[in-house]
Amino acid sequence: MTMVRSGDAELYYEVHGSGAAIVFAHGAGGNAAIWYQQVPHFAGRYRVVTFDHRGFGRSTTPADQLSSAAFAADLLAILDDAAIDRAVIVAQSMGGWTAVSTALAAPERVAGVVLANTPGPARSPEIEAAMKAVRDRARDTAAVATAALAPGLAERDPAKAFLYAQISGFNRPIDLATLLARTEPAGIDELKVPIRMVVTDQDELFPAAALRSVSARYRADVIEITGAGHSAYFEKPDEFNAAVDEFLTTIGW
C-alpha cells in the first residue's frame, strides 16, 4: 500500500508495469479497483498509475476538505511521490475534473488527456442542463448508481453490474452535488494538451450530444462507443482500451 499526503488528505495509489506513464482517474462510482480491465491491458507496455481520489476508497480527507478544487494538487503530489515527470491522464466522469485541472495547473506534466463520459470542468448550455440533472439525481444515491451503467445492463450481465456495485460500495457516502459545484476555471480555451473525448450512446448522465458541445473548446477529437452507458471503460473494455491505445499512438506515447 502506497500513501502520500496532500494537504490534509492521505492518498492511496498503485503503480503497475514500467515505461511511459498513464494515470487512470476514476469517477464518483469508482476507486482504484474499478480499472481492473485496464491495468492488465496497459501495464505490459506502460507504467500504469491508479489511485483513490480524496474521500474515496482508501484515501482519506476531513469532510470539509472533500472538494474537486484539490484534485489537481492531489494528482501532482502522487506524480511527485512516484517520481513521474509527465503522464497521460485517462479520466472518467468525476475524474475529468482532475485531468483538466491538472493540465491547466501544470501543462508540462501532462502529455495528453482522455476524457471518457465527462465534460471535465468545461461548460456549455447543454452541459449546464446535464449538470443540473446530475445534481438532482445526487439526492438519491441509488439513482446515481443506476445511471452509471447502461439501461438493462443488470439484466443482460448481472454479475458485472453486481461487481460494479461492490467496488463502488467501498466508497463513503459523498455529497456529489457539492463536490462538483465549481465554476469553470480560466484557460480551457487556451489549453494546448492533446485531448480525446470518449462518448457513448446510452449515457444517461452526460449524453453524447452534450459532451460534443464542449469538444471544440478542448480541440478534442471524439470517439463514440455504442451499446454502453456512462461507464464505457467498465461495460465495453475492449472498445474503450482500443480507443485509448489509438490515442496513445497518435500522440507518440
pLDDT at position 132 is 87
Q: What percent of the chain has pLDDT over 90?
A: 84
Q: Which of 50, 97, 87 is nearest to 193 (CA)?
A: 87
Contact between residue 230 and residue 207 where contact means Cβ atoms under 8 Å apart: no
Mean of pLDDT values over 71-80: 98
- Say which residue, 142 or 164, is predicted with more confidence: 164
Tell me which CATH homologous superfamily contains domain 2-250: Alpha/Beta hydrolase fold, catalytic domain (3.40.50.1820)
Contact between residue 6 and residue 53 where contact means Cβ atoms under 8 Å apart: no
Question: pLDDT tens digits for 167-222?
Answer: 999 998 877 766 776 679 999 999 999 999 999 999 999 999 999 999 999 999 99
pLDDT at position 136 is 79
The β-bridge relationship of strands 195-200 and 87-92 is unpaired
pLDDT at position 119 is 96
**Which strands form 221-225's sheet, in the order they lie side by side?**
2-6, 9-16, 47-51, 21-25, 87-92, 110-116, 195-200, 221-225
- Say which residue, 175 or 133, is predicted with more confidence: 133
224: pLDDT strictly greater than 90 = yes
Q: Which of 253, 252, 225, 246 is nearest to 92 (CA)?
A: 225
In this prediction the pTM is 0.96
For the chain, the domains span 2-250
Q: What percent of the chain has pLDDT over 70?
A: 95
Contact between residue 44 and residue 17 where contact means Cβ atoms under 8 Å apart: yes
Q: Which of 23, 176, 44 is nearest to 110 (CA)?
A: 23
231: pLDDT strictly greater than 90 = yes
Question: pLDDT tens digits for 4-53?
Answer: 999 999 999 999 999 999 999 999 999 999 999 999 999 999 999 999 99
145: pLDDT strictly greater than 70 = no
Question: Residue 135, Cβ neighbours under 10 Å: how many?
Answer: 14
141: pLDDT strictly greater than 60 = no
Mean of pLDDT values over 116-123: 96
